[in-house]
Amino acid sequence: MGVVKLEVVPAGVFTTAYDVLSDGLPRGRIEHRIPSLRDEAVISTPDRTFTARRERVFRAGAVLESPEGVLRARAEREGVWREDYRIRFEGTTFSLRQKRMSWRGLFLISDESGEIGSIRLERLFSRRMVVEFTADAPPPLEITEFLVWIVLMVHRREASSG
């Protein structure tokens, strides 16, 4: 069983776009749309482009849709006080859970078999992130980028409240 590792790096100093790299090569991009009332982003893979957005302005759930408006994935926040999410796509369910008291903003990714990966800041106060999957078959790239986008929204919300 190998480890799949992706790097998520800001596209520039003052940008809200992030490039997703594998072995230093671009694999995708997450572009946050600033003027949107509800958090929204364009998620790109080499083949397709998707839209990630909160379902409603004051709702914690989010969806990932194709340009045709077809639902690809749905994320629901599981609690009021914790940043735990349940993500469903194609009959598969993932759990994205923020680890408490983590200096690197660690989020653990689990499925029904147990922990399969993580998303964390590269280092304290960095905007760069590392995504690692220990599973033999990690989720598709757009689903991984959707998970990263949720983590980015949590980091942004925590930074604005603290």
Q: What does the alpha-carbon distance between residue 123 and residue 61 come to, in Å, rounded to a whole number?
A: 28
Q: What does the alpha-carbon distance between residue 138 and residue 87 come to, in Å, rounded to a whole number?
A: 14
Confidence of residue 127 (pLDDT cuts 50, 70, 90): confident
Residues 81-125: tens digit of each pLDDT: 677 899 999 999 999 999 876 666 799 999 988 999 999 998 877
> What's the average model confidence in pLDDT over 134-140?
82
